[in-house]
Amino acid sequence: MLARGWVHPVPALLVAVGISFVLSFVLSLGLAASAAADPAPKPVDIKALKSKPIVLQDAQGGTYVVFRDSDDAKVFFGPSAKAVYEQVIIGSSSDGEGRWEYNTWAPRVAEGPHLASLERKKDGTFQKSCRGKDDMGLSEVTGDKARAVLDKAQFLTMGIIRVPHLLARDDSGVYYYVDRLAKVYGGKGYRVFVGRKGAMKQLPLTDVASDSAGDVFSTKSGDLRLVRNSDSNKDTMTWVKGEKRTELVFLDTDINSVVIFKDLGLYTFLGTLCDNV
């Protein structure tokens, strides 16, 4: 006869094993989701736009389409007429006498604030500018040729699928970088990379903790910790591997836009007006 309160060890062991299995299964699902392929750009319904499209092309076949709707202006660009990607408009200007300009996000342009410009001048000519690099004149396409471009081209959301979240490096030139999906593609979906420029390696992510005190990105190789110090109003970052802690230099992701989108070697096609700079 079993004493009251005594628990048979076998059922207890099975429960423990069952819990462990469930936790491992849930974790594996999370890792599988984070390792899933990134989303693709989505179609944009241009029929809903009110303004008449302006179709432009450069000498290399790059195609630009501008909708100058005062309430919902849009600029699209593609290296060919097969697909054009929506640009992130940062600012615009117009003098009311025929000249207008749109400034769009181009993270590979070295000089801040990392903008490309698409301009119609007073004399009716068009120009794309990448702040002195890859600048070129554009030709307007009209009539049946313009209609053919509009009918055949895929109009898609922006080609920048992922955006920077955190960047740091140690004193030996090893970079620590975290990116995430752009908001239009759902946000989050963090990835962690460590390595030198051009040789970055993605580390399998096991957990993410984010709160008012900072962020912790846990990987199989170590933890990348961003700590927000409310007293000094400064962010610090540390790489923790076992008992070893390496203090990192925290880097502004906007100032180091070219490092991120070009030098680290993580991104190829961005779909911006100045991908080639």
pLDDT (tens place) for every residue of the chain, 277 residues total: 444 444 444 444 333 434 333 333 433 444 444 456 899 999 999 988 888 999 999 999 999 999 998 778 999 999 999 999 999 999 999 988 889 999 999 999 997 789 999 999 999 999 999 988 889 999 999 999 999 999 999 999 999 999 999 999 999 999 999 999 999 999 989 999 999 999 999 999 999 998 888 889 999 888 888 776 555 557 788 999 888 899 999 999 999 999 999 999 999 999 999 999 8
**What is the per-residue pLDDT for 154?**
97
Domain boundary among 135, 156, 177: 156
Quick check: is 95 in a domain? yes
pLDDT at res. 101: 96
For residue 213, being part of any structural domain is answered with: yes
Domain span holding position 100: 46-156
Q: For the chain, how many structural domains are there in total?
A: 2
Q: pTM value?
A: 0.82
Phi, psi of 156 (to 5 degrees): -125, 160
Record the tokens describing residue 141, joined without a space: 């396409």
In a domain, 138, yes or no: yes
In 3D space, the residue among 87, 104, 117, 108 whose CA is nearest the CA of residue 257 turns out to be: 108
Is 82 in the same domain as 140? yes
10 domain-assigned: no
Residues 55 and 141 placed together within one structural domain of the fold: yes
- What's the CATH code of the domain at 244? 2.40.128
Tokens, residue 207? 């957990």
Residue where one domain finishes, among candidates 124, 156, 188: 156
CA angle 187, 270, 238 (to 5 degrees): 55
Residues 227 and 137 in one domain: no
Q: What pLDDT sits at residue 23?
A: 34
d(CA 69, CA 209): 42
Nearest to 209 by CA among 200, 219, 201, 194: 219
17 within some domain: no
Say whether both 152 and 220 belong to one domain: no
Asked if residue 198 and residue 147 are part of one domain, the reply reads: no
Order of strands, edge to edge, in the sheet holding 214-219?
201-203, 191-195, 175-181, 162-169, 244-250, 234-241, 223-229, 214-219, 205-211
Q: Which amino acid is at 86?
A: E
| Tokens 């053919």, located at residue | 148
**CB within 8 A of 267, min separation 6: which ones?**
162, 260, 261
* Listed residue (173, 231, 230) closest to 200, CA to CA: 173
Q: Among 156, 173, 188, where does a domain finish?
A: 156
What are the respective helix, strand and coil percentages of the chain, to the nearest 5? 20, 40, 45
Q: Verify that 173 and 127 share a domain, yes or no.
A: no
Residues 67, 99 within the same domain: yes
What's the distance, CA 230 to chain centroid?
28
DSSP bridge partners of 236: 227
* Residue 19 included in any domain: no
